[in-house]
Copies of this chain bind each other. A is one copy, B any other.
Amino acid sequence: MIPIVNQMLSFSLSEPIPPLLATANEAEYGPIILTAVLLSLVVIYITSKLGGELSKRLDLPPVLGELVGGVIVGVSALHLLMFPENGASAADSVIMTVVQAIGNLSPEAVTSIFNSQSEVISVLAELGVIILLFEIGLESDLRELGKVGYQATIVACVGVVVPFAAGTGGLMLLFNVPAIPAIFAGAALTATSIGITSKVLSELGTLKSREGQIIVGAAVIDDVLGIIVLAVVASLAKTGEVDVLNVIYLIISASVFLIGSILLGKFFNKSFVTIADKLQTRGNLVIPAITFAFFMAFLANAIHLEAILGAFAAGLVLDETDKRNQLDQQVVPIADILVPIFFVTVGARADLSVLNPAIPSNREGLIIATFLLVVAIFGKVVTGWSIFGQAPINRLAIGVGMIPRGEVGLVFAGIGSASGVLSKPLEAAIIIMVILTTFLAPPFLRLAFNEPAEPVESADSAS
């Protein structure tokens, strides 16, 4: 059906291919690419639902289950969902083997289809993370920030600077990791997942406590800081060198882009509502919103920042409109079908077998993973002691509340992995760090608030 494979094999496009000759190739390859994409999506969705539901039953965040599900179907274990950049060939992928059997294909054809299919799934995963950040932007209420203000800002800044400095410095000095991957791994330590912490806090009934308010405020600021850090780090990864002037340029351009979008957004907001009200056809709200998000993502990409920075800015802008709730509701099903593709493929791409403790040569990778985990935990726990001159406050609870990395940590891991700067052990170490911090935070948080470690509510009633 898609006549692209054709052109992939012969790059000379100056002469149109005669229709009947083209047909033979297209009939052979085109529908098969669609078959491979459909089968991959079915595997991804089933994995995400099985993992997410199991995770939820264990009182853990669903996103953790989607990630672990991805690890299980991916290169680390079942080899269902494989990507060529792992050095895998089509024959290593169970999905491609099934597709080959269905289509009765030659090895060359399968290799070409494997590449096309992986490319399509990769772009879908990137559209997924763009929609995810758009949704996070839509849910980040900037007006709320004013209320917690000062303390939350200090906690957020300390929680970004300490893990970043300790992580990057430690990797470079103790483990001789080159600067760029060390900076990337350090940056991955900075994120805080607001979703996981606020869910546990609300279960404990401490969301509205002073500690709870500071944690949530700091996590929102962390999102913003984290995305600026990611934009800077990912650009460094592209150029491959750390140039102080370039770093300054990137920090300024990312900040200007974000702040500028929010300021200009106040004017755009009104036009957006006017446009959505005037449109009379289906999708009158969701299409302009997604178009705006994609356009901002394109713009960020075009000025050499990350696409997700643009999507996040678009979400922040549209969050301020009256249409927010209606839009939220319509974006949910779109996010539901695109975001799992991102989480599952991040898991599937990560080769955790490089950390198998049974193999002696993996020792260094394991030590790095342990080091990252320790920095990830203590780098956030110290944030509680950054609040001075306050009435007695549960400093440990604030610090522990900042531990889980969740979605945003995975965005770092995913983009780092796709950019190719991370060595396999380092990539695996980051994924393990994200999994374990997310896994450990809920029980730790209950302990810090002097609650029993068992879930207060049963899994059923917590839904």
A interface with B by C-beta (< 8 Å): 1-4, 6-8, 11, 13-17, 19-20, 22-24, 26-27, 30-31, 33-35, 37-39, 41-42, 45-46, 48-49, 52-53, 56-57, 62, 84-89, 102, 108, 111-112, 115-116, 118-120, 122-123, 126-127, 130, 237-240, 279-283, 286-288, 290-291, 294-295, 297-298, 301-302, 307, 330-334, 336-337, 340, 415, 418-423, 459-460, 463
Residue of B nearest to A418 (CB): B1
Residues of B within 8 A of A33 (CB): 119, 123
Q: How far is the CB of A359 from chain B (nearest CB, A)?
A: 18
Residues of B within 8 A of A56 (CB): 280-281
Q: How far is the CB of A89 from chain B (nearest CB, A)?
A: 5
Given contacts A89-B14, A418-B3, contact A123 B126 (CB under 8 A): no
Q: In the bound complex, what is the Cα–Cα distance between A72 and B192 (angstroms)?
A: 47
Given contacts A294-B38, A307-B31, A415-B1, contact A420 B282 (CB under 8 A): no
Interface pair B334/A41, CB less than 8 Å apart? no
Q: In the bound complex, what is the Cα–Cα distance between A31 and B305 (angstroms)?
A: 10
Q: Copies of this chain, how many?
A: 2
Which 10 residue pairs spanning A and B have beta carbons closest together?
A16-B87, A283-B336, A4-B119, A38-B298, A27-B238, A280-B463, A3-B85, A2-B122, A45-B291, A23-B420
Interface pair B1/A84, CB less than 8 Å apart? no
Interface pair B112/A11, CB less than 8 Å apart? yes
Interface pair B115/A8, CB less than 8 Å apart? yes
Q: How far is the CB of A79 from chain B (nearest CB, A)?
A: 15
Q: How far is the CB of A122 from chain B (nearest CB, A)?
A: 4
Interface pair B35/A287, CB less than 8 Å apart? no
Given contacts A3-B420, A56-B281, contact A13 B111 (CB under 8 A): yes
Q: How far is the CB of A248 from chain B (nearest CB, A)?
A: 20
Residues of B within 8 A of A337 (CB): 283, 286-287, 290, 334
